[in-house]
Each structure stands twice: as C-alpha cells, then as structure tokens.
C-alpha cells in the first residue's frame, strides 16, 4: 500500500467537510482524499470547486467498488453507521465510523461481529475526545490507582444549548425514526464514552428523562441518570439542551483522592496521604474541633495538582484520522477501536429504557425489548420505517 491512505468521505456535510479540509490542509500527513460521496446533487459542484480532481459519487456502494479508496469515514445519520460500516468491511476496505456507532445495540453488535470476522482490516470510531491529552492523563491517574478505588462519579454536561431553529433545520433531526433520539445520541455520546472509558462500565441505571421538555421535539432534551457500579459506588449523569449558560463539570471521587474537571479544560487532582477511611479513623475529638475551627493544615492530609493542556482546534479529530491511517499502514494501536462504540450506545439505550418503563435497568438488558419500544415511537411519528 502507498504511504498515504486514500480516504473516502461518505457525507459531505459539516463533519465530512471538516475532515476533507483537515486532510487537504496537511493536518493528516499520512492520508489523502480518495473520493467524496453525498446524495445531495448540490454538493457535487461544491466538491469540484474545493477539491478539483477528486472523484465524486452519489452512491456510496459505487464509491466502495471504484477502487479509489483504501478506507472510509461515515459522516451520515446515526442509523446508517452500522450498515455502511458492514458494507465497507465486506469489500475489504477499512472503516472509521462516526459517533455514535449506531442507535441501538442490536445493530451495533452486528457491526462489531462482522468486523471481528475481518481482523485484518482496521475498524475504528471517531471518539476524538479520547485523543484529548487531559482525558488521557486522567485515565492514567485512575488506572494507576492514584485516587484509590472509585466511590462516586458525576458529570453535569449541559452546555449543549440548541435553539428551536436548530431542530427545525432538518426533517430527520430530533426524531425517533430519523435520528434515534435527542441529546443522548447527538450531543452527549463523547461524554458517555469518556465516563465509562475512565470510570468503568456500570451494572445498572435508573433515569428520569424529559421528552420535548423545553423544545418542540419528540425526543429527549433533558436527562438525569443514576448508575450503580455494583460495588457500592454510584454515578450521576445530567445533560440538557435548554441551558443557555451551561455547565461542564466532571467529578471522580476515590477513597484516596478526587478529580474535578471544569469545562473539559482544567482538572484539579487531590491525592490523600492515606485512604480516607484511615484518616477518619485516626482523628480524635481534638482533631474534629480543629477541623470545625479551620485549624487543621490541609497539607498534612492531601496534595493538590492542577492539570491543563493546550489543545489546538481540530487536533483531536485530525489525530484520530492520523492514528487510523497509522494503524492501517503500520499496525499502530487504535486510540478508539470501533468495537468500543457499543458501550455508549448501550448506556444511552438503558437510560431511555429506564425512563420508558419507570424501572432500574440492567446494562445487560434485552435488546429486543428496547428495539420494540423504539419502534413504537417510530411508528407513532409515521415518517420513517421501523427498524429491525
């Protein structure tokens, strides 16, 4: 194979267009554009003007069979990611799927199983936040046991404000049949992935979800979910699209420290000198009095570190593309293997199912039960076909 991977971009909208610019702008040195594909006829002339000489297709199967691409990225509506991923791999072409990997676990599992049968091909997902140096460092801290065993996690991520005009911009947006959900499948998949990537996969979830709460839509625009990790530890996830001010605060409490992340930019890491329980057991009433009077020296009990990285715009996405190409060309380990995409979809499905049934839902839920509930809502819309 050549030293550059020829990438086919399926969907030349905002995301696909950004990837094309990253490549032509030299941000992905081991990749070039092999072909472009979009069903919108207007995109053909625009592509010819911006990327002269690059083949353009209105049918992604024709592009896959053209011989012009070694790999593709799927920048299309969520329901199509698994189908396009499978058709790509079927033709022995490497696949990078956008997030989320799909809308429901049954279709994502089919994609993962097909990819597993083609181990010689690279299969990745665009979890660009895994390329964020801050979150990579925090994952190391947690895995190294620097804050001890996790006791509680919580993430408030409400800076996804979207006005009504955003939802009115397309007939498929914010629908069960077209998009498959709201904030959980559109804005928050990166946080659902990072939460589990760093803190571990929970055992069950109970949720309160508001559908069309502050927007004229059928899908969710506010979510509060409580997860149980199965060992006494719990977590809370809150997200919404109607908070114009917005908050992004992620906390991980361990039995020997704590991490607090503000705005996905700055992390304050506190490391206890001893496990919290030992500090508690070792304090007498004199210490308690000093504690209440503010006379204890914090340095006797813990140290604090502030972590912050500079991150150039576009570097996280282009870094995933570069890593994907490096995996194809030389076997460099993937930052985000495609098989990991099912974790966030599974948690989003469980959150939806819990709200629909009013019960706590195991992460090992019945996939057919979820799909039946989803299809009820698609049928009620009467616009898109039910899913299988």
Per-residue pLDDT of the chain (388 residues; tens, 9 = 90+): 458 999 999 999 999 999 999 999 999 999 999 999 999 999 999 999 999 999 999 999 999 999 999 999 999 999 999 999 999 999 999 999 999 999 999 999 999 999 999 999 999 999 999 999 999 999 999 999 999 999 999 999 999 999 999 999 989 999 999 999 999 999 999 999 999 999 999 999 999 999 999 999 999 999 999 999 999 999 999 999 999 999 999 999 999 999 999 999 999 999 999 999 999 999 999 988 888 888 888 888 999 999 999 876 678 999 999 999 999 999 999 999 999 999 999 999 999 999 999 999 999 999 999 999 999 999 999 999 999 9
As a whole number of angstroms, the distance between CA 298 and CA 304 comes to 10
**Cα 87 from Cα 95, distance rounded (Å):** 9
Q: Of 165, 42, 22, 89, which is closest to residue 339 (Cα–Cα)?
A: 89
At 30 the pLDDT is 97
Determine the Cα–Cα distance for residues 384 and 380; give it in Å rounded to an integer. 10
Classify residue 128 by its DSSP letter. Answer: G
* Spatial distance between the Cα atoms of 126 and 148, rounded to a whole number of angstroms: 30
Crossing angle, helix 341-357 and helix 105-116, to 10 degrees?
160
Backbone phi, psi, residue 259, to 5°? -120, 130
Q: What pLDDT, in 10s, does the model give residues 120-135?
A: 999 999 999 999 999 9
DSSP notation for 287-352 = HHHHHHTT-S-GGGTEEEEEEE----TTHHHHHHHHHHHHHHHH-PPPSSBGGGHHHHHHHHHHHH
**Residue 313: predicted pLDDT:** 64
Partnered with residue 5 across adjacent β-strands are: 31
- Cβ–Cβ < 8 Å for 358, 340: no
Tell me whether the omega of the peptide bond preceding residue 100 falls within 30 degrees of 0, making it cis: yes
Closest to 381 in 3D by CA, of 187, 217, 223: 217
- Cα–Cα dist 206/95, whole Å: 34
Residue 43: the pLDDT is 95
Report whether 19 contacts 321 (CB < 8 A): yes
Please report the pLDDT score of residue 6 as a whole number. 98
Name every residue whose Cβ is closer than 8 Å to that of residue 29 and which is 6 or more positions away in sequence.
4, 322
Residue 2 has a pLDDT of 56
Residue 142 pLDDT: 98
Asked if 365 and 353 touch (Cβ cutoff 8 Å), the reply is: yes
Residue 292 confidence (pLDDT): 87
d(CA 190, CA 195): 8
Q: Residue 5 to residues 8, 59, 65, 366: CA-CA distances in angstroms?
A: 10, 21, 16, 40
pLDDT recorded at residue 259? 98
| pTM above threshold 0.85 | yes
- The Cα 142–Cα 95 span in angstroms is 31
The backbone torsions φ and ψ at residue 141, rounded to the nearest 5 degrees and listed phi first, read: -60, -45
Question: CA 215, CA 63: separation in Å to the nearest integer?
Answer: 39
Residue with tokens 């299969």: 123
């Amino acid at each position: 194979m050549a030293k550059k991977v020829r990438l086919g971009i399926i969907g030349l909208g905002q995301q696909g267009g950004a990837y094309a610019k990253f490549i032509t702008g030299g941000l992905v040195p081991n990749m070039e554009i092999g072909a472009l594909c979009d069903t919108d006829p207007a995109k053909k002339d625009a592509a010819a003007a911006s990327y002269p000489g690059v083949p353009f297709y209105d049918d992604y199967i024709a592009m896959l069979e053209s011989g012009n691409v070694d790999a593709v990225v799927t920048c299309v509506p969520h329901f199509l990611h698994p189908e396009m991923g499978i058709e790509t791999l079927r033709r022995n072409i490497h696949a990078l799927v956008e997030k989320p990997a799909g809308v429901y676990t049954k279709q994502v599992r089919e994609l993962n199983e097909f990819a597993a049968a083609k181990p010689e091909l690279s299969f990745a997902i665009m979890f660009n936040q895994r390329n964020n140096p801050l979150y990579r460092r925090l994952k190391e801290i947690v895995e190294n046991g620097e804050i001890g065993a996790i006791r509680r996690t919580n993430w408030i991520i409400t800076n996804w404000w979207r006005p009504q005009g955003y939802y009115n911009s397309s007939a498929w947006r914010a629908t069960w049949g077209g998009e498959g959900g709201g904030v959980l499948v559109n804005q928050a998949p990166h946080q659902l992935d990072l939460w589990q990537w760093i803190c571990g996969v929970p055992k069950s979830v109970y949720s309160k979800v508001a559908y069309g709460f502050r927007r004229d839509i059928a899908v969710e625009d506010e979510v509060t979910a409580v997860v149980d990790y199965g060992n006494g530890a719990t977590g809370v996830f809150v997200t919404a699209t109607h908070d114009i001010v917005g908050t992004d605060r992620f906390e991980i409490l361990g039995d020997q420290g704590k991490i607090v992340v503000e705005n996905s930019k700055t992390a304050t890491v506190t490391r206890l000198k001893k496990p919290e329980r030992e500090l508690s057991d070792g304090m007498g009433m004199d210490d308690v009095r000093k504690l209440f009077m503010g006379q204890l020296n914090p340095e006797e009990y813990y140290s604090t570190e502030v972590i912050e990285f500079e991150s150039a715009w576009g570097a996280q996405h282009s870094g995933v593309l570069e890593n994907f190409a490096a995996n194809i060309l030389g076997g460099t380990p993937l930052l985000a293997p495609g098989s990991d995409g099912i974790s966030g979809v599974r948690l989003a499905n469980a959150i939806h199912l819990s709200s629909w049934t009013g019960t706590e839902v195991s992460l090992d839920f019945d996939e057919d039960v979820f799909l039946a509930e989803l299809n009820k809502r698609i049928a009620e819309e009467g616009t898109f076909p039910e899913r299988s």
